[in-house]
Structure 1
Amino acid sequence: MMAKRETIVVVGTGARTPLGFDAASSAAAIRAGISAIQDHPYMIDRFGERMKVARDTGIDMSLAGPERAVEIALSPALDALQSLAVARQAAKVSLILSTGESRPGQKEGFAAQVSAKLRSRLAEHIVLEGGGSTAGGHAGGLLAIYHACKTLRDGKAEFCLAGGVDTYLEPETLEWLDENEQLHSEGNIYGFCPGEAAGFCLLTTLTIARTFGLQPLLEVVGASVASEENRIKTETVVLGEGLGAAFRFLFEDAPIDPVGRIICDMNGERYRGNEYGFAVIRNPGRFKDAADFETPADCWGDVGAASGPLFVSLITEAEARNYQRTPLSLIWAGSENGTRAAVLLGGPRSAA
């Protein structure tokens, strides 16, 4: 008989989005349907209109590159670590961070630079040991959670701070998106509104959480990764094989109860909607209502690698305020490089 796998729990979250500088305000704005999408101060699209973006108004537009990403990431990372400060016990934390994929305005080595600078800032508050960084794209934040779960189960860390930070607001990036016909506008309704944000989750095993006297916020029921060969911006036709596989891997060891809440990184691009539809067909009977899904990008813009951890914070806020109506939630995201990642989350009572 196989031994039961160690339960992984979320004991802290942090969020900074165009809707709010912490998880509570961001989640409240999403729940109210408030949109942060606005005209860019000066960037003009190919139709002669100002680009539609969602930006962090607390950070000066002149701040760019890794420095801007770190400025966005610092406060939510510290918020996620707050539970350890309350515990008042020495703990070593492994930082696993993702940024957007390499692209114009975000060159090779960007993720490593952001990680190094963020580590330096966090080292003033916590002992960091191990971890890594990747330019994972939209699925990057969920990839960080996936690797954090593996790290914890392998006994290589006591705590993992898994997060993602992304910003599309570099002028070179915006021009590239416009050239690729990916910007949303009246002339291109199937594009998306670029945003910027950061989200973090502090993860540990249930055993260590109890040792430190920490209250689990959620249980990570499962995390999965798969790859899609028929990628966006290619001549192929997507049939949901990669995302469908990510769902299947996730459900193999999951409770038989159907998923009641779905949050994803769909952003208005037709590719993502088509992919999801096929992925659902490949996993019959696993959803209460597969058409009832949430797309926060409608409110805070497309936030790339930050998406997954931010979705976690939406669920922790719902649990904390008693408006989470289902025991199982599915969050998923897909990167342009073909990576698909999904995480299944259960309420804190399931971790007890």
Structure 2
Amino acid sequence: MSSTNRTVVVTGIGATTPLGGDATSTWEGLVAGKSGVRPLEQDWAAEQAVRIAAQIAVEPIEVIPRPQARKLDRSAQFALIAAKEAWADAGYTETSADDGTVDADRVGTVIASGIGGVTTLLDQYDVLKDKGVRRVSPHTVPMLMPNGPSANVGLYVGARAGVHTPVSACASGAEAIGYAIEMIRTGRADVVVAGGTEAAIHPLPIAAFGNMMAMSKNNENPQAASRPYDTARDGFVLGEGAGVVVLESAEHAAARGARVYAEAVGQGISADGHDIVQPEPEGRGIAHALQNLLDRTDLDPAEIVHVNAHATSTPAGDIAELKALRKVFGDDTDHMAVSGTKSMTGHLLGGAGGVETVATVLALYHRVAPPTINVDNLDPEAEANADVVRGEARKLPVEGRIAALNDSFGFGGHNVVLAFRTI
């Protein structure tokens, strides 16, 4: 089993997002150019400078039994919902590890979160202050742990090959999937459930991001607030949710006759070494991650026809990413349809890489690139460096093998690029 050349494939997908409670409705929303951003109606929102967010479309309590939900942080609830969908989509059941359908010793999970159980931590601190020590939930610690979502998913699928939680801010979900690819490629596991989750729509994170001047304050027009590449972009919109994929070795998938969405080609990873929050303006770190991907895989730049860009709707970050693509791929960039799906979902922080991996895989599977909405006036620097899909979804080539990238970057200068390819 200890091979470094195993082909890795995607056999299951799952999601719960501001566009829908599952992967299908999320994909339909993306292709239709639907915005999931809306006003915050909580009482605490009135005093915030930012009063909009991309809240989940289907509340977890509608899906998870209440007694179980009370023991899970909101981020873990999202992860479990998405993972259950992906696991079933791959053809497995909750008892697959018990009945011998899959060898539990060869199953792993890698579910990331950029912040972890922040709502549990803050809410339980309020309980401590207002109601006293005895009223603090005994489930608080396992709920607030950043590894809680991965651990709970691991318990659901019976994973014993390893349960992991990389934390790299907004690159966390993508790094989790890259780690999972390596687990399979190097023979540590045959099947890994991987992705990202985040639940940080809470007064403290919103106040903090708002005071950083990182978020859009377009409270009057929420659905137009997230506008990557537009000259009027003024910051990201906070979102919540989770995206999860089931990865398998190609041999394992073939042996059980599994449906395959795409090949997971590999990852490229780097760090900017520039600033704790600001991206390196010329995209040098991102370019390093892209080159690292090419150096470590057999990916041909001519195959790449689509990029699900990080594209958070910030003035500096959007352009740095496109400059990096142009620096590494040169004229090949001209045939890459670039989509900024955060224009619809908002920015899910550590969950972004998971949800956007689902979108990238489905773009290849259906050969359609989702649009970037709200681009009324395309930034000239964006126009000079990339082919941004605007307004409506675009068909991708229907013949031959094609590939796509999913870019994710995070505070601290973390850069992760994932590559997928049709079979």
TM-score, scaled to structure 2: 0.72
Higher strand residue share: 1
Question: Residue in 1 aligned with 2:385?
Answer: none
CA contact (8 A) 1:9 1:205 kept: yes
Q: Which amino acid aligns with 2:339?
A: E
1:174 to 200, 206, 209: 206
- 1:131 equivalent to 2:131? Answer no
**1:278 offset after TM fit, Å?**
2.7
TM-score, scaled to structure 1: 0.86
CA contact (8 A) 1:111 1:134 kept: no
Question: Residue in 1 aligned with 2:415?
Answer: 340
Question: Residue in 1 aligned with 2:396?
Answer: 325
**1:321 offset after TM fit, Å?**
4.0
What is the number of equivalent residue pairs in this alignment? Answer: 342
Q: Structure 1 residues 139, 29: CA separation in 2 closer, same or farther (over 3 Å shift)?
A: same
Question: Residue in 2 aligned with 1:81?
Answer: 87
- C-alpha separation between the residues in 2 aligned to 1:250 and 1:106? 37
**1:214 offset after TM fit, Å?**
1.4
- 1:98 equivalent to 2:112? Answer yes
Map 1:1-352 → 2, pairs under 5 A: 5-42=5-42, 43-44=45-46, 47=49, 51-59=51-59, 67-82=73-88, 83-85=90-92, 89-92=101-104, 93-101=107-115, 113-116=145-148, 119-120=151-152, 123-186=155-218, 189-231=233-275, 233=277, 238-252=281-295, 253=297, 254-285=299-330, 287-289=332-334, 292-321=337-366, 323=368, 325-326=396-397, 327-347=402-422, 349=423
CA contact (8 A) 1:17 1:56 kept: yes
Q: Structure 1 residues 114, 233: CA separation in 2 closer, same or farther (over 3 Å shift)?
A: closer
Q: Structure 1 residues 8, 296: CA separation in 2 closer, same or farther (over 3 Å shift)?
A: same
SS in 2 for 1:137: coil
CA contact (8 A) 1:66 1:114 kept: no
**1:317 offset after TM fit, Å?**
3.0
CA displacement 1:138-185 (0-9 Å, x = unmatched):
111111111111111221111111110012302111111111111202
**1:118 offset after TM fit, Å?**
5.3
Q: Structure 1 residues 296, 196: CA separation in 2 closer, same or farther (over 3 Å shift)?
A: same
Q: Structure 1 residues 228, 44: CA separation in 2 closer, same or farther (over 3 Å shift)?
A: farther
CA contact (8 A) 2:16 2:58 kept: no
Q: More displaced, 82-91 or 252-261?
A: 82-91
Q: Which amino acid aligns with 1:339?
A: H
Q: Which amino acid aligns with 2:294?
A: F
Question: Which consecutive residues of structure 2, in runs of 5 or more, have no partner in the other structure?
Answer: 62-68, 123-140, 220-231, 369-394
CA contact (8 A) 1:99 1:164 kept: yes
- C-alpha separation between the residues in 2 aligned to 1:32 and 1:283? 31
Q: Structure 1 residues 174, 292: CA separation in 2 closer, same or farther (over 3 Å shift)?
A: same
CA contact (8 A) 1:11 1:209 kept: yes
**1:312 offset after TM fit, Å?**
2.4
CA contact (8 A) 2:17 2:57 kept: no
Question: Which consecutive residues of structure 1, in runs of 5 or more, have no partner in the other structure?
Answer: none
- C-alpha separation between the residues in 2 aligned to 1:243 and 1:290? 19
Q: Structure 1 residues 189, 105: CA separation in 2 closer, same or farther (over 3 Å shift)?
A: farther
CA root-mean-square deviation: 3.1
- C-alpha separation between the residues in 2 aligned to 1:40 and 1:155? 46
CA contact (8 A) 1:165 1:306 kept: yes
CA contact (8 A) 2:194 2:245 kept: yes
- C-alpha separation between the residues in 2 aligned to 1:4 and 1:157? 12
**1:8 offset after TM fit, Å?**
1.0
Q: Structure 1 residues 241, 316: CA separation in 2 closer, same or farther (over 3 Å shift)?
A: closer
Higher helix residue share: 2
- C-alpha separation between the residues in 2 aligned to 1:8 and 1:302? 28
SS in 1 for 2:56: coil
- C-alpha separation between the residues in 2 aligned to 1:20 and 1:336? 27
- C-alpha separation between the residues in 2 aligned to 1:111 and 1:267? 28
Q: Which amino acid aligns with 2:81?
A: S
SS in 1 for 2:208: helix
Q: Percent identity?
A: 18
Q: Structure 1 residues 117, 304: CA separation in 2 closer, same or farther (over 3 Å shift)?
A: closer
**1:227 offset after TM fit, Å?**
0.5
- C-alpha separation between the residues in 2 aligned to 1:148 and 1:51? 36
- C-alpha separation between the residues in 1 aligned to 2:328 and 2:269? 16
- C-alpha separation between the residues in 1 aligned to 2:302 and 2:349? 30
- C-alpha separation between the residues in 1 aligned to 2:364 and 2:233? 34
- C-alpha separation between the residues in 1 aligned to 2:301 and 2:11? 25
Larger Rg: 1 or 2? Answer: 2
SS in 1 for 2:266: strand
